[in-house]
Amino acid sequence: MNDTPTSPPNPPGANPQWGGRFVGGPAAVMLDINASIGFDRKLWRQDIAGSRAHAAMLAKAGIIGAADEGAIASGLDAIAAEIEAGRFPFEEALEDIHMNIEARLAERIGEAGRRLHTARSRNDQVATDFRLWVRDAIDGIDAQAADVMRALATRAAAHAADPMPGFTHLQTAQPVTFGHHLLAYVEMLARDRGRLADCRRRLNECPLGAAALAGTSFPIDRAMTAGALGFDRPAANSLDAVSDRDFALEFLAAAAISAMHLSRFAEEVVIWCSAPYRFIRLSDAFTTGSSIMPQKRNPDAAELVRAKTGRITGALVGLLTVMKGLPLAYAKDMQEDKEGVFDAAAAWALGLAATAGMVRDLTPDTARMRALAGSGFATATDLADWLVRVLRLPFRDAHHVTGRLVALAEAKGVDLAGLSLAEMQGVEAGITADVFAVLSVEASVASRTSYGGTAPANVAAAAARWIEALG
């Protein structure tokens, strides 16, 4: 007589999808740390799409019958409807979205549902689902970035000739136009979109069919499933296919760079709204008040865009840290790949939406910007350029003469145009009255006609090109 106790097919708490190997159920803390259904349920659309494609391929290859494939397709449709309606019974004991959907499918259609997992693993399944999710996120965020660019370019066209101070070191440097300043962010966002396009192109290889790590002995058609899911090709190496998370890292890197750009613009909005500057005003729609100071109008939307950069950059560093020490192929550490990506994508999308809203909402004080555009001797470089162009002084000599004239003007409490011709000639005898024509803010910006310069005609043309390109 055998005295060894017989274990139940699935001990309490065990996952019925793999519980046959295990005699006892997992500890409660094991359930907590192991389960990902709390966050990876976001992948349900991609998981169902992958399962549909896999079932169709299995049927075409003769691995499952046409009746089974039809039952699987109908069952997956019903499950999608359940999830959409909020009636799907997600179970933590089933760990993840893949097992939850597969178990529910088996409940609904029986044995045919249990055939679905033939020739695949959760390793290639999750790698496929996650790529599909990131690809969808790229498409949505790219459209949002284009909308911010459109808002900026439209504003730039309207203010192509309105001067404002240009800064280096946050000190007055040379006058630029408000439109030119806004177009700088259009260029940044264009690069952000280029990085997204590169990421999308590189990620668009299908891991499905790589199975756990070594491929499969079944006669599958990986090109068929790749094509059905919109991938360019199957991933070429089964080990790499299941262990690669470069696509997620590249997405997060693009997100971090773009969030940095949004943060720089948000910082400028904060500065421009402040009382010492008063360059722009945001309406009630994008500001908040103070609980104690009734006069306050705080640019909180901009501040929060600026702050969200930290969580996006943190997600990139977090995933780099997870991946840096992992040998091939899959390890459970990689379950930590998703939450940071989900959170970063949401923060990025929110930051883009808020930025587009602020750009369209803001009211610039063009008179105020014009008044300050010439402050701090902003046309000093124009004076130096005139000395080079007209008097043929070497630039370093012209720089020295201009510096002496700035010091003189500062001592007298006037700007450069406030010096008399005699005072200027006391520093450089060759200066003529013609010099005063280059010392105005309008003359300064109009003279910057080099490619990419701030001349109003340049800005208007660049804004028009972007508006046409963005549609």
Distance CA 360, CA 464 (A): 17
Sole residue written with tokens 């959907």: 101
Cβ burial, residue 42 (10 Å; 0-12/13-18/19+): middle
As a whole number of angstroms, the distance between CA 8 and CA 22 comes to 10
Residue 86 tokens, joined: 């909020």
Burial 262-272 (b: 16+ CB within 10 A, else e): bbebbebbbbb
Q: How far is the C-alpha of 426 from the C-alpha of 334, rounded, in Å?
A: 74
Q: Which of 7, 283, 290, 420 is catalytic?
A: 290
3-state secondary structure of 351: helix
Contact (Cβ atoms closer than 8 angstroms) between residue 212 and residue 242: yes
DSSP one-letter string for 306-326: HHHHHHHHHHHHHHHHHHTTP
Q: Do the beta carbons of residue 370 and residue 163 sit within 8 Å?
A: yes
375 is catalytic: no
Determine phi and psi for 109, rounding to 5 degrees. Answer: -120, 0
- Residues pairing with 363 in the sheet: 281
CB 56 within 8 A of CB 208: no
Length of the chain: 471
Q: How does DSSP classify residue 288?
A: B
Parallel, antiparallel, or unpaired: how do β-strands 205-206 and 233-234 relate? parallel
| Reduced DSSP (H G I as helix, E B as strand, rest coil) percent helix, strand, coil of the chain, to 5 | 65, 5, 30
Range list of H helices, 324-453: 338-361, 366-373, 380-391, 395-412, 421-427, 441-447
- Helix axes 122-158 and 97-109, enclosed angle (nearest 10): 120
Sign of the CA dihedral 14, 15, 16, 20? negative
d(CA 339, CA 346): 11
Name every residue whose Cβ is closer than 8 Å to that of residue 340 and which is 6 or more positions away in sequence: 252, 314, 315, 316, 318, 319
Q: Spot the catalytic one: 169, 217, 291, 450.
A: 169
Specify whether 74 is catalytic: no
Taking the alpha carbons at both ends of the chain, their separation in whole angstroms is 82
Two tokens, residue 413? 């409490």
Residue numbers annotated as active site = 169, 290
